[in-house]
Structure 1
Amino acid sequence: MAFYCPDGAMAQRLQSVVAQLQAEGRPELEQELSITWLRYDRSLLQSAAASDNAAFWGQQPKGACWNGERPRYPASVVKLVYLVAAEAWLQRQLIDDTPELRRALADMIRDSSNDATGLVVDLLTGTTSGPELAEEGLASWGLRRQLVNRWLEELGWPEWEGCNACQKTWGDGPYGRERQFYGEGGGNRNRLSSDAVARLLHGVIAGGILSPQACTRMQGLLARSLDADQRAADPENQVDGFLGEGLPTGARLWSKAGWMSQARHDAAYVEAEGQPPMLLVVLSEGAARAADAQLLPELARQLVQG
């Protein structure tokens, strides 16, 4: 069962916005784009605290999607998955809560550090990067690398079908055993759908996926400042060129962006005065979309007004 209730008016609005943006000089946009858009009657923040887990997930918000079930390469949006997994491992006492882990989680989310992500993936899976491995060693190493996937599969979310979160993130790309693990033609690359990312972020913001304390910590890392001076001081602020840039003055934002030569993505929860709170995940693929710094802000600008 989907975690949100499809809303016809929202779907019509989303279709109209996508068509308009494509007509403005973005050929093939409809095929290069995945969107999941949810709206809430009240703040989602820690809203799961008042109900048990089953009751919370049964409270379906209104939503709409565009290619929402289609898995795409998520770039740094996968770091949201690894953040939640790390808190889940800590909750089960599978890893130690150390200052170095907390530093890595903060740098992974706030600054989107690939180096920090590498440490987090190593701790989650008990693996390390290095030279190529013989077939038997690679098979054993690869099984450990699938631990996050197996945990997510145990949640039983239909949105996770076709998704994959087992690779580190890179600047130049994988080498050695990491390159072997990518598989022929990169068939084992990370893959996420906007629906899957939306459900994960929905659970984090509501405090319904792990303990309220763990979700509060994750919310703190995902919070973004829309202050112009702070953004100007940090060119990689994950606001400019992404959904946050299209928000009205005074809005509050929690998000994780992803950007590389073939992708520009963002996953955001937004509260803006006079508008219903919304959760918006946008995955856009291709070199043209990666270079398009106006697409995500315009989507946010159009949809925050509903």
Structure 2
Amino acid sequence: MAFYRPDPAMQEHLSSLLRRLESEGRPGLTEQVAITWVRYDQQAPAAGTGLGAAWADQRLLYPASVVKLFYAVAAEDWLQRDLLVDNDELRRALRDMIVDSGNDATGLVVDLLTATTSGPTLRGQAWSQWQQQRQLVNTWLQTIGWPELERINCCQKTWNEGPYGRERDFYGVMNDNRNALSTAATARVLEAVMTDALLSPPASRRLRDLLERSLDLAQRAADPENQVDGFLGEGLPAESRVWSKAGWMSQARHDAAWWSLPDASPSLLVVFSDGQERAQDTALLPALARELAAFAID
């Protein structure tokens, strides 16, 4: 059961749009994307009240930096339960992890959440204990009880050059322990942040402050890593307010965005695109956002 009410008109529009974009020079596109799209009919909606459509939304894919959204939510939950000490360094790391998508900052946050550190290969009891600790975010996600979270994996740091030592060992011989998310899971967590459905209102507000993106062209030009250009935000009307977390690497281009126009109800869109060709496709995500936002306006 989806966390939104399926809407046949939205589903037909999404399916038709994907087929058209595929026919316009993206062969295999329908096998390379996963999407969750939700529209709301109130300006301040409660969680679970949207109408939606999806495409391969349960498919597990490597999320790249989108996983940082989950680590930020976990950090705020840990703080609520006094499992972390709130201080300037933690706040700096959370800010850099979400606003700038920093991998070093993410490494510190994961260390703090799990009481683990990177380093050389471990053996025996020390290795078993380390692995158990590194699963703490996954364990917490399962306690929430949402079906969208049942199969996902959030236990790895994010990297510029790749893991070494015990971090590489933890990936598994065939990288079978990589992070893995679905668009359904990502959409439900982002909705929870935007609607105060999982954390306290102050904690949710702090996360929203970090996730908000500027669509101002001058600001975007001054920051090439703005998480708007080449992603969903680029395709939205200029007057939109946007909260998002993008992910990009050699084999993936993803984004999760919540947006609203002035005095209008919001929409939620999560798009994962898989493979080298899609990772280099800077026009796909803006095109999807543009077309789906226009449908929402209608």
TM-score (norm 1): 0.94
Given candidates 219, 237, 242, the residue that maps to 1:230 is 219
Cα displacement (A) at 1:276: 4.2
Identify the residue that residue 21 of structure 2 maps to in structure 1: 21
Given candidates 53, 56, 60, the residue that maps to 1:64 is 53
Identify the residue that residue 35 of structure 2 maps to in structure 1: 35
Identify the residue that residue 51 of structure 1 maps to in structure 2: none
Instruction: Give yes or no for the alignment of 1:284 onto 2:273.
Output: yes
Instruction: Give yes or no for the alignment of 1:108 onto 2:73.
Output: no
RMSD, aligned CA: 1.1
Residue 302 to residue 276, structure 1, CA distance change in 2 (3 Å): farther
1:64 counterpart letter in structure 2: A
1:33 counterpart letter in structure 2: V
Identify the residue that residue 85 of structure 2 maps to in structure 1: 96
Give me the whole-angstrom Cα distance separating, in 2, the residues matched to 1:185 and 1:191. 14
Question: Are 1:32 and 1:286, in contact at CA under 8 Å, matched by a contact in 2?
Answer: yes
Residue 259 to residue 24, structure 1, CA distance change in 2 (3 Å): same
Question: Are 1:244 and 1:253, in contact at CA under 8 Å, matched by a contact in 2?
Answer: yes
TM-score (norm 2): 0.97
Cα displacement (A) at 1:231: 0.3
2:190 counterpart letter in structure 1: L
Given candidates 151, 155, 161, the residue that maps to 1:162 is 151
Give the SS at the match of 2:82: coil
Cα displacement (A) at 1:43: 2.2
Give me the whole-angstrom Cα distance separating, in 2, the residues matched to 1:24 and 1:137. 54
Give me the whole-angstrom Cα distance separating, in 2, the residues matched to 1:14 and 1:233. 33
Percent sequence identity over matched residues?
60
Give me the whole-angstrom Cα distance separating, in 1, the residues matched to 2:128 and 2:25. 47
Cα displacement (A) at 1:135: 3.7
Give me the whole-angstrom Cα distance separating, in 2, the residues matched to 1:184 and 1:156. 30
For structure 1, the 5+ residue unaligned runs are: 49-56
Give the SS at the match of 2:97: helix
Give me the whole-angstrom Cα distance separating, in 2, the residues matched to 1:65 and 1:274. 26
Identify the residue that residue 123 of structure 2 maps to in structure 1: 134
Question: Are 2:248 and 2:254, in contact at CA under 8 Å, matched by a contact in 1?
Answer: yes
Given candidates 216, 227, 231, the residue that maps to 1:242 is 231
Runs of 4+ in 1 over 6 A off after TM superposition: none
Give the SS at the match of 2:174: helix
Q: Residue deviations 1:227-258, cap 9 Å, x none?
A: 00000000000000000000112111000000
Give the SS at the match of 1:138: helix
Give me the whole-angstrom Cα distance separating, in 2, the residues matched to 1:43 and 1:18. 28
Identify the residue that residue 76 of structure 1 maps to in structure 2: 65
